[in-house]
């Protein structure tokens, strides 16, 4: 249980750090957020827990393919905010579009032999 709390604490500090930096400099916060720090932490925790190269390779490969459908959200959100759409509606729209694109990626990927 202590290990889980440690993982959650480190991961939470990273998110809090990004939001604090972004208050001072949106670009600097975005730079930190765009780094694959969460993925790296996830891989570190997975490796420590399993030491399984095949599982790690599958995880890293799936992460690559699932980043792609998440990218349009980062174009949709600023576009909607600039048009005056309220933040919570904008965020919800970004999440819905991302979820739909994830489903599309799973369907299209399966047709090409991609297993996520």
| The pTM of the whole model exceeds 0.85 | no
Q: In the prediction, which pLDDT does 24 show?
A: 95
Q: Which residue has the tokens 């930190």?
A: 32
Taking the chain (116 residues) in runs of 10, the rounded mean pLDDT of each run is 89 91 92 87 93 95 93 97 98 97 93 86
| Domain locations in the chain as residue ranges | 1-51, 52-116
Q: How far apart are CA 111 and CA 10, in angstroms?
A: 38
């Amino acid at each position: 249980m202590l290990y889980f709390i440690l993982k959650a604490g480190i991961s939470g500090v990273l998110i809090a750090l990004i939001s604090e930096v972004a208050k001072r400099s949106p670009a600097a916060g975005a730079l930190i957020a765009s780094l694959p720090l969460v993925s790296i932490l996830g891989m570190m925790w997975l490796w420590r827990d399993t030491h399984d190269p095949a599982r790690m390779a599958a995880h890293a490969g799936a992460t690559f393919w699932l980043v792609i459908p998440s990218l349009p959200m980062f174009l949709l959100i600023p576009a909607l905010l600039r048009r005056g759409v309220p933040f919570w509606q904008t965020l919800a729209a970004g999440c819905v579009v991302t979820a739909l694109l994830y489903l599309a990626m799973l369907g299209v990927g399966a047709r090409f032999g991609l297993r996520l």
